[in-house]
Structure 1
C-alpha cells in the first residue's frame, strides 16, 4: 500500500481549537447528561428517565393490573426502540428491580417468572419472564391522559414521552433511590407511604412546619426487608434536617430455647440490600478464622421466609453480647446513607431536607390538580355545547329530520335555522338513528344541570388556593387508605430500638478467643506470645547476644501495658502479639518507641489499679492504670523525664507506706499519702541524694511489716517497731539499710 497525503482546503471548514477547551466542553456535556438523564431522580415523581419510560411504555401497551402479562422482551424492545436509546440489559435490569419486593418498598412492576432473589441470584432472561403494572404504578400515572403533565419529543422525534409523571404519592421518599453521577451522588432509603401522607397533610395545614414537626410523623426509613433501626432519634432528625446522614440498620433476631438449657439465635430479617448468601458466607469465613469465638455454627434454614440460625459456643454465652460481636464484624448491621440529592424542576440538582422534598412534591401535585381541572373544564364546556345542540334538536326534531333529508348542505342549514355552532351541528349530524329514542328532554336537562354544577365547582376550585390545597389533602387521604398501616403493603416493616448499652471493651473481648498465653520480652525488645502458661522459662531461645528480660502469663483477651524508660506507656492487645514460632518481633514494629528508649517493664492491665512511677532521680507520683491506656501506636506520655534522668520503676500500689532505697544504700520509709496522684507530670521528690539515684522501691502495709529477699532466696521481715529509725518525710535522705539487706540494693535480692 502506498502512503497518501490528503490536503485539506479551506472549503473543508477545519477550525483549530484548543484541546483544553474542547475537553472542558465535552466533559461538561457528559456530566450534565449523566446528572439529568441517568443518575439523579426527579423530586416530583422520584423516578429516573429509564424507570419513567418503562412505566410509560407499559401504559401504552395497556399492561394494567387487571390485564394479562406481556413478555418482558417486548416491553424492553418498546422502551429501547421508542424512548430509551441504550442497551437492552440496562433497561431490563431496571425493570427487574422495580419488580423485586426485597429491593423496592412498593413494587411498580408485577413480575411473573424468575425475577431474582435476596440471595443475589440474577433474574431469568427477558424472553422467559413476563410483567405488568401494579396498582401502585397506576397511582403514579393517574391523570396522565388528562393533560396533567408536559410531554416532550423522544430522542428521534417520532413520538412523545412524559417529562414527569403525575405521582399521586411521594414516590421519591417512598421507594427511595440511589445513583452516582459526575461529582455528585444520591442515596435515599425507602419510607412508609402512610407516614409520608400524614406528614404531607400536616405540611398543607401548617406551611411553616419545621423538620422537627415532620419527624413526628416520619420517624425514619421503612425498608422492604424490615430490620431494626438503632440510630438515635436526634441523629435521624438531624439527617432529615440537612438531607445528609446515616442510619444504623440491624438484622431482627430472637432467642429460641432448646433442650437442657441450650439455646439458638434465629435471624428472621436481614438489612436492606444485603445478599443473604454472601452474608452467611462472610460470617462462616470469620468463624473459621476464629474471629467469632462465641459462635459455634451458622446455618441457613430459609424457605420463603428468612431463617438464619446461629449456634452459640456454650449455653453460658450472653446472646446479646454474641450478637453485638456479630454486628460489629458482619453485615448483620449496616449503615444506610442518606444523601437527598435530587433534581428540582427536572434540571437543578439540590440536596433537600425532608420538608423541602415533601413541599416540592406537594407543589407538583398542585400543578397536576390545576391542569387536570382545566382539562376537565374544557371537556365540560364542549359537552355542554353539544347538549345545548341536542336540546334544540329534540325541541325541533321533525324540522331537523326534514333538513337532513332534503337539504343539499344540511350542516349549514342547521346552523342557520337554529343558530347552532359548527360543533353542535356536526354532533347532530353524526348522531345515530337509534339515539333518537334516547333523545329526551329530561335526560338532556339532567346531564346538562349536572355538568353545569361541576363546571361551577371547577371554576371555584381554580379561583381558590385554599380549595386547591383542600382537594390535594383529600386526594392524599384516599392514597393513605390504600397504604394504610393495617394493609399488607402499608404495614411498617422496620421497627425502632435502642442499641443495647454494652461496654465496647466487653464487645471487643467477645470477638477474641480466650486462650492462655505467656508473654515473653527479651532484653533487646523482641516480643512474642507463647501458647499456654509456662512454668519454666529456661527452655526459651533468643537471638545471639540477647536474653530474657520479662515473662509473665496472660490471656489472649488481655491488654498488655509496656512502659518505656522515656516515661511513655504503650497498650498492645495480647492477641496481636506474634506467636511462639521464631523470636517474635521488635517492639518498634508494633509501636512507635523512640530509638533512645528501652522497655522498662510490661504487665497485664488491671482495671482501676494504681501505679507508682519513679524516675532515676527519685521523682515520682501515683497514677491510675486506666489513665495510662493508649489507643494509638504513638503511646501515651505519662511521666515527664529529661536526660540524663529516665523512668526507673513502675510498681503496683499496695498497702499504705513506701520504702525507697538509693544507690547510696540509704533507705527511707514514709506514708503513701505524701505522694501526689496525677494523670501526667514529673512528680514530686521522693528521696534526696548527693550522688547517684534510685536503686529500688516497694509499697507495703505497715501493719504487716516490710519484707525483702536476699540472694539465697531467704525472706526477712521487719515489723513497724523495728523500722522506726528509717521513718521520715518525703524527700529526706534516709538512713543506711538494715543489717541483712541484699548487697544488690533490691528488695527482691
Structure 2
C-alpha cells in the first residue's frame, strides 16, 4: 500500500526512543556548557531582553512574558515556563538571581508563588551580561519551532554562569547537579586560567574554595571537594549553622540562622517539633519559627544545663539540618552530555569567550571600516562643497548625481550614495573638525580591533578586563563556610576567658575561676577545645558549648563515648603532642581543628587489643616512657616521627608480655620521680638512664613487685601532685630519696595512689 513502510517494531521503538531521549537531553533538561542555561531559561531571558524588560525599565506582568515565550520560542506548557521564571527570581534558589521579581514568588517554607497574572518581573542587572553584544554577530541564530522567527543558539555570556548559579536536571538516562559558587572566586579562577592554561583542577581550588549556596550553611567534608572538582562528581555534606543565645534567667536558646540548600524550612521545624513531642530531643522545651525578611531564625528553648553541642548533634542526625548533595557536573558540549571537571568547564568557557569576542571584534571591525569609507567620502565632499552642491542641483536624476560625484570628486559608489543621503542644508552646515575627529577615532578603533584579531595576548586581555568589570560590580562575600567553624556563636562569651577542667568520673566543667590544678586549660569562649581519649578518638567543641556550672557536665552528653573510654588530655589548636599506646606504639602529631570532623574523628588508629595509654605535650627535646614493671626508655622526641591525625603509630618501645606503658613525660630537669600504686617513690638521676633509639626495651629504673604495686606515674617537676581517691595532694621532689636503679623505692605515703603528675 502506498505511503506505508513495513519495519520491525523493535527497530522502530529503538530509534524513536533514541530520538525522544536526545530531544529531552538537548532540548529541555541539561544546561549548555557555554552560557550555563537550559533552553527554557535562555528563551525567557532573550524574550525579556527583546521586549525591553531589563533592570532599568518598569516591571511587566509575568503572564505577558510567559505568553511571549510560549508563542514565539517554547512550544511547551505554560507551567514549565512560569516555573523556570520563578526559580530564576528566587534568591534562596539562585546564588545570583537572573530575574527581578515583584510580588509573591514563594518562600523557603515551600509556599507556592502567586499566579502569573499577579506577579511582575524584569531582568536583573547581571542578566545584561548574558545578552550583552547579542546584536553584534557573537553567536549563531536558529529558527524557532515554526520557522517564523530566529532565536539565539546560545547567549554570549560574559561570566561563567553555569558554575556561578549552578543547575540541576533529569533527562533520559542522564542527570546533572551543579552547585552554585561564589562569582568572585569563579572569576578569579578563570583569570588565572587565562594566563596559565596548563593549570589543574586541584590548583584552581586555590581560588574556588567550594560551592557557595544562597542559603549559607557549611560544608563539613571539605576533603571530598578534591574528588568533586577533579572527577566532576562526588558527595558533599552541608550543615546548617546555629548559635547560642542567652535567654531569660539562666535559660539559653539554640538559634538556627542558616539551613542547607533546598531544605524546606517549615518541614525542618515540623521535624524538630515532632522529636520534642516524641521525647527524642532531650534538653529542648519548645521550638518556634521567628524567621522574617531579615533571614532565617528558628529558636529552640533549651532546658537548664542542656548541652548546645549535644543537641546540635542530635538535630544533625535526626533532621534535615545536615543534608547530603550528590554532585554530578554534566552539561551539553557540542550537543552531547559531558562529565566536566572544574578545569574542563573553565577551559570550555574560555574557548567560548574567545570565539565570542573574536566574532564581535570582526563585526565591529567591518562596521568601522565601512563607516571610515563613508566619513572619508564626506570629508572629500566638504573639501569640494561648492562643486558638490552644483552637481546635486544640476543633476536630473539621483543616479546621474552619483556618477558625477564619483567621476569629478573621486568618491566611491558607497561614498557617493552616503553624500546624496545627506540633506544639502545639513551638508553645508556640517563641521569639518567633528568629521575629522570621527575619522581619527575610527582609525584608532580599527587598529585596536585588528590588534585583537592578530594578537592572542590582546584577546586574553579583553576577556580579562570584562571579567574584572563583572567581578567589580557583582562579587560579594562567601556565604557557605568550608570545613570546621564554631557552631555556637555568641557575642557575650566569644572574648571571655574560661578554665576548662576535666573532673573525675568523666565530668568536664567550664568556669571563670580555676579549681582543678591538673587537668585544665585556659581558653577564650570561641576557642576550640579538643578531647583526646584512650580509644584514639578526638572530639572538638567550642569552649562556650560546655555549660558554665559548678557541677559540670558529663562528657557523654557532649559527644558519644564507649564503655571504658576516658579522656586522657584536653588539647588546644596547634598543640604538639606525643601519644603512646599500652603496647608501645607511638606517634608525634599536631592538633589542627580544620582536620577534625564535626562529629569527631580519630587521632590514633589502634591495633586490635591496644589502646592509648598516655598523651603528653611536647615541651622539650627528650622524653621518658615508663612501663608498669618499672622500665624506662629515654629517647629524643624527634626520633618519634610526626604523622597526621588519622594514622597509626610506629614501634616506640619494646614491650614484653605482661607489661604495658603507663606513663610518659618530657624531660625538663636532672631527675625523674617514679611512683607506684602503693605509694613507693624514688628519684633517679637522669644520667643513670642511657638514651636509646626508638624501639628499644628501656632499662629497669624502679623495681616493682607485689609490695609496691605497679608503677603508675612519672614526673620531672620539683613540686608534684598526686591523687589519692578523689583528692589531689602535693608532694615535693626533695622529700623523695635518690635511689639506685635496682631499688624498689621508699614508701612515702600511707595511701593508695591513683595518679602522679
TM-score bucket of the superposed structures, by smaller chain: 0.5 to 0.7
**1:505-544 correspondence runs (5 A):** none
Per-residue deviation, residues 400-423 of structure 1 (Å, max 9, x unmatched) = 112222212322322232232222
1:607 equivalent to 2:564? Answer yes
Residue 453 of structure 2: aligned partner: 462
Q: State the Cα distance separating 1:354 from its structure 2 match.
A: 0.6
Q: Can you give the 5+ residue segments of structure 2 that lack an aligned partner in the other structure? A: 487-529, 540-555, 567-582, 584-607, 609-655, 661-705, 708-757
Per-residue deviation, residues 19-70 of structure 1 (Å, max 9, x unmatched) = 1111100110111011111111011110000000001101110112111111
SS in 2 for 1:207: coil
Per-residue deviation, residues 314-355 of structure 1 (Å, max 9, x unmatched) = 22221011101101111111112221111113x021111111
| 413, 432, 457: which one aligns with 2:423 | 432
State the alpha-carbon separation in 2 of the partners of residues 205 and 402 from structure 1.
60
| 28, 34, 38: which one aligns with 1:44 | 34
State the alpha-carbon separation in 1 of the partners of residues 186 and 298 from structure 2.
35
**1:551-700 correspondence runs (5 A):** 606-607=563-564
Q: State the Cα distance separating 1:226 from its structure 2 match.
A: 1.3
State the alpha-carbon separation in 2 of the partners of residues 213 and 276 from structure 1.
36
State the alpha-carbon separation in 2 of the partners of residues 70 and 123 from structure 1.
16
1:77 equivalent to 2:67? Answer yes
SS in 2 for 1:299: strand
SS in 2 for 1:146: coil
Residue 519 of structure 1: aligned partner: none
| 272, 285, 289: which one aligns with 1:296 | 285
Q: Contact (CA 8 Å) 1:229, 1:248: kept in 2 or not?
A: yes
1:231 equivalent to 2:198? Answer no
Residue 19 of structure 1: aligned partner: 9
Q: Contact (CA 8 Å) 2:252, 2:302: kept in 1 or not?
A: no
RMSD of aligned residue pairs (Cα, Å): 3.0
Q: Contact (CA 8 Å) 2:126, 2:474: kept in 1 or not?
A: no
Residue 338 of structure 1: aligned partner: 327
| 346, 358, 370: which one aligns with 2:346 | 358
State the alpha-carbon separation in 1 of the partners of residues 190 and 429 from structure 2.
47
Q: Contact (CA 8 Å) 1:99, 1:110: kept in 2 or not?
A: yes
Tell me: CA distance 1:506–1:319, structure 2 relative to 1, closer, same or farther (3 Å).
farther
1:186 equivalent to 2:143? Answer no
SS in 2 for 1:404: helix
1:399 equivalent to 2:387? Answer yes
Q: Which moved more, 1:33-42 or 1:281-290?
A: 281-290
Q: TM-score by structure 1 length?
A: 0.65
Residue 286 of structure 1: aligned partner: 275
State the alpha-carbon separation in 1 of the partners of residues 180 and 453 from structure 2.
34
State the alpha-carbon separation in 1 of the partners of residues 217 and 428 from structure 2.
65
Q: State the Cα distance separating 1:393 from its structure 2 match.
A: 1.0
State the alpha-carbon separation in 1 of the partners of residues 389 and 318 from structure 2.
88
Residue 356 of structure 2: aligned partner: 368
Q: State the Cα distance separating 1:374 from its structure 2 match.
A: 0.3
Q: Which moved more, 1:109-118 or 1:438-447?
A: 438-447
State the alpha-carbon separation in 2 of the partners of residues 137 and 38 from structure 1.
21
Q: State the Cα distance separating 1:438 from its structure 2 match.
A: 4.5
Q: Contact (CA 8 Å) 2:35, 2:157: kept in 1 or not?
A: yes
| 170, 189, 206: which one aligns with 1:199 | 189
Q: State the Cα distance separating 1:435 from its structure 2 match.
A: 2.3
Whose Rg is larger? Answer: 1
Per-residue deviation, residues 610-647 of structure 1 (Å, max 9, x unmatched) = xxxxxxxxxxxxxx9xxxxxxxxxxxxx9xxxxxxxxx
Per-residue deviation, residues 284-317 of structure 1 (Å, max 9, x unmatched) = 1222222222322110011213343443552222
Residue 303 of structure 2: aligned partner: 314
Q: TM-score by structure 2 length?
A: 0.64
Q: State the Cα distance separating 1:143 from its structure 2 match.
A: 0.9
Residue 443 of structure 1: aligned partner: 434
Per-residue deviation, residues 123-177 of structure 1 (Å, max 9, x unmatched) = 1111111111111100111111111111111111100010111111100000000
1:482 equivalent to 2:491? Answer no
Tell me: CA distance 1:248–1:434, structure 2 relative to 1, closer, same or farther (3 Å).
farther
State the alpha-carbon separation in 2 of the partners of residues 189 and 337 from structure 1.
10
1:250 equivalent to 2:239? Answer yes
Tell me: CA distance 1:608–1:169, structure 2 relative to 1, closer, same or farther (3 Å).
closer
Q: Contact (CA 8 Å) 1:266, 1:307: kept in 2 or not?
A: no
| 141, 165, 176: which one aligns with 2:166 | 176
Q: Contact (CA 8 Å) 1:104, 1:224: kept in 2 or not?
A: yes
State the alpha-carbon separation in 1 of the partners of residues 40 and 13 from structure 2.
28
Q: Which moved more, 1:441-450 or 1:177-186?
A: 441-450
1:148 equivalent to 2:172? Answer no
Residue 108 of structure 2: aligned partner: 118
Q: Contact (CA 8 Å) 2:286, 2:300: kept in 1 or not?
A: yes
Q: Contact (CA 8 Å) 1:293, 1:313: kept in 2 or not?
A: no
Q: State the Cα distance separating 1:676 from its structure 2 match.
A: 13
Tell me: CA distance 1:606–1:445, structure 2 relative to 1, closer, same or farther (3 Å).
closer
Q: Which moved more, 1:279-288 or 1:176-185?
A: 279-288
State the alpha-carbon separation in 1 of the partners of residues 416 and 310 from structure 2.
84
Q: Contact (CA 8 Å) 1:295, 1:310: kept in 2 or not?
A: no
State the alpha-carbon separation in 1 of the partners of residues 139 and 412 from structure 2.
31
Residue 372 of structure 2: aligned partner: 384
Q: Contact (CA 8 Å) 1:230, 1:499: kept in 2 or not?
A: no
State the alpha-carbon separation in 2 of the partners of residues 38 and 491 from structure 1.
33
State the alpha-carbon separation in 1 of the partners of residues 70 and 406 from structure 2.
50
